[in-house]
Structure 1
Amino acid sequence: MQIYLPIADLPVDIFLVLAMGLAVGFISGMFGIGGGFLMTPLLIFIGISPAVAVASVASHIAASSCSGVISYWRRRAVDLSLGLMLLAGGILGTAVGVWLFTLLRSLGQLDLAIGISYVVLLSAVGGLMINESVRAILREQRGKPVALRRGGAHTWVHGLPLKMRFKRSKIYVSAIPVWGIGFIIGFVGAVMGIGGGFLLVPMLIYFLHVPTATVIGTSMVLTLITMASATVMHATTNHLVDAVLALILMIGGTIGAQFGARAGQNMRGERLRLLLGLLVLAVGLRFAYQLVVQPGDLYSIRQAGAE
């Protein structure tokens, strides 16, 4: 059944979009990520412009994250104090990202910038995650002990000032890297339509040594608020949020996230990271193919000043 999207200005199959929302919501709940790294390319692949896809997907990510946060909150797997500190940097990063998004759109370079950013970011992150998870699985199969975090282990991050204690995560670190990580996630989310969970989770684990038990739920709290903020900013600044598209994605994402959160409980961490790495790398390679392949129409006509 076809439905017309007023802002995207094209008809789409409502069941296809709903299925996409369900699938990405499931992945979001399973891996503790926003799912925008997958949803935004999927919308672009079915013909929706990158600008509308990025702006509209933010609302889908917020809805999926809200559903996931409720699930993890019930299991007391959310460090609220850490989430609030990340949020302080995340809101600023979101505002800067929306500003850059608007600037690139006015210069006519937004589509190219989004495509290149996806190729570089997803390929690099996916490759690193696959390498790390494969090495962890091989160590496990050979019977070698997995390198666990030692209580006395410190890096240069732990030597920074303005230290704070986060009781739920059992860490004592400076607020500076926490703010910095939040800023990066908010910025990337606003420019690329990515919730940033696939970046935030490894940052919290490897830089701040946040326990895996609380990292996913805490990640989803930041994703929820930054993506809700990005939705409002994009709607008021660029007027690119397609409410019809966003509503369909939100319905599918909210339902899918609940099933994904349950499925993620039954898988080992190394295998979860391997699956996520493969998925991230595959999307990055698909974007690279789209950038270099010759389009069906070598020329297009559009009104001056139109997106």
Structure 2
Amino acid sequence: MEFHVAGVTVSPIIIILWMLFVGFVFSTIGAAGGILAGVGHITVFGMKKANIIKPMNQILTLVSPIISTPLYLREKRLVVPAAVALGLGGIVGALIGSWLSHTYLPDMKSYKPLFGLITFVIAGRLWYELTPGFRERQQAIKKATKAFENRVKELKAAGKLNELKEIGVKFTEMGINNTFTFAGETFRYNALSPFIVGALVAIISAALGVGGGFLLVPYLSSMLGFPMFIVAGTSTLSILVSSATSIGNYLRMGSNLDFAMIGFELVGILIGSYLGPTLSKYIKGVYLKGFLAVVLTYIGIGYVFGPMIKAAIGISII
């Protein structure tokens, strides 16, 4: 099938299958959604128009935030002022990043190596997550999360709504300096920090056409010290704001979206996102992360060093 805006001829079945894989991976390990979408557009589908690839990547990264943000809000697992600060910074950063990219990375020759570099960053993060120390910390987080979920279920079953409200995020101070409690613990942060980080992350993600969660999650958990149980919702809302801003600015500057292709892509993403939680029970996460780390490392090498390798030995690796 010919997709005129994207400038490629590709089978809709290939599009759906690749995006099914993207949705499965993202819903299972929570990373690399935008990167894998970009790999699909660049290598699998063969798109050559960089300024169309970037907003189309980000369209697909919006699927999860649109669905999950209301759920996180309802469950009081979202630090709204922090997400707002990240989002406001994200608006500024997305406008800057998309303008810089549209102006200075207009073709695949300039865009592809930088996309390869960010692919390396994601691969490095995945390799780090395979280390024993990180896996031990994740097990502890999972136990704490499970205990929290069980406590919430107990309070709901007992009809103790007042106690249930005390468990969720509750602010006691709001402004430049913010203080909130969650599950009996007190957390403090300065709003300028997430604003600045949100802007910097959005510059990178908008310029390369990715979501940015791979940078926001470590920031919220490691630098601000937020519990992982509220990190996902907080980062998701800010990604929704910055990605939407970036897409809008690309369109304002003349980029187009291939809505026919996006339609098939969304079918694959939704199927994969549904299958992920179901099939992940039968696939160890460490194996999937290992496989993905190898794939992204190979892709990063191909995108960054491919031309040099081809010039040196006459073989194209990707």
2:273 to 257, 275, 279: 257
Paired residue for 1:301?
Answer: none
> SS of the counterpart of 2:10?
strand
2:189 to 173, 192, 216: 173
Matched, 1:56 2:40: no
Matched, 1:227 2:243: yes
Paired residue for 1:304?
Answer: none
| Counterpart-to-counterpart distance in 1, 2:282 and 2:217 | 19
Q: Which digits, 9 at most, give the CA deviation of each residue in 1:19-44, with x for residues without a partner?
A: 22222122222333471111112210
Identity %: 21
Structure 1 residues 89-238: aligned runs within 5 Å: 89-105=89-105, 110-131=107-128, 133-136=130-133, 162-168=176-182, 170-238=186-254
Alpha-carbon contact 2:130-2:286 (below 8 Å) kept: yes
Alpha-carbon contact 1:133-1:271 (below 8 Å) kept: no
Query: Normalising to structure 1: TM-score of the pair?
Result: 0.75
| Higher helix proportion | 2
> SS of the counterpart of 1:77?
coil
- CA change 1:265–1:128 in 2 (3 A) is same
| Counterpart-to-counterpart distance in 1, 2:263 and 2:90 | 24
Bigger Rg, which one: 2
| Counterpart-to-counterpart distance in 2, 1:54 and 1:134 | 32
| Counterpart-to-counterpart distance in 1, 2:129 and 2:7 | 43
Query: Where does structure 1 differ by over 6 angstroms across 4 or more consecutive aligned residues?
Result: 262-276
Q: Which amino acid aligns with 1:65?
A: P
Q: Which digits, 9 at most, give the CA deviation of each residue in 1:239-289, with x for residues without a partner?
A: 232222222222322343344356679999988876765564344234235
Matched, 1:9 2:7: yes
Alpha-carbon distance, 1:101 to partner: 1.6
* Structure 2, gaps ≥5 residues long: 138-143, 145-174
Which stretch has the larger CA shift, 37-46 or 231-240? 231-240
> SS of the counterpart of 1:294?
helix
Paired residue for 1:83?
Answer: 83
Paired residue for 1:285?
Answer: 301
Alpha-carbon distance, 1:93 to partner: 0.5
- CA change 1:280–1:162 in 2 (3 A) is farther
> SS of the counterpart of 1:48?
coil
Alpha-carbon contact 2:99-2:250 (below 8 Å) kept: no
Q: Which digits, 9 at most, give the CA deviation of each residue in 1:139-187, with x for residues without a partner?
A: 68xxxxxxx9xxxxxxxxxxxx942224459521111221122112221
Which stretch has the larger CA shift, 263-272 or 55-64? 263-272
Aligned residues: 273
Query: Normalising to structure 2: TM-score of the pair?
Result: 0.72
Alignment RMSD? 3.5
| Counterpart-to-counterpart distance in 1, 2:271 and 2:198 | 27
Alpha-carbon contact 2:32-2:122 (below 8 Å) kept: no
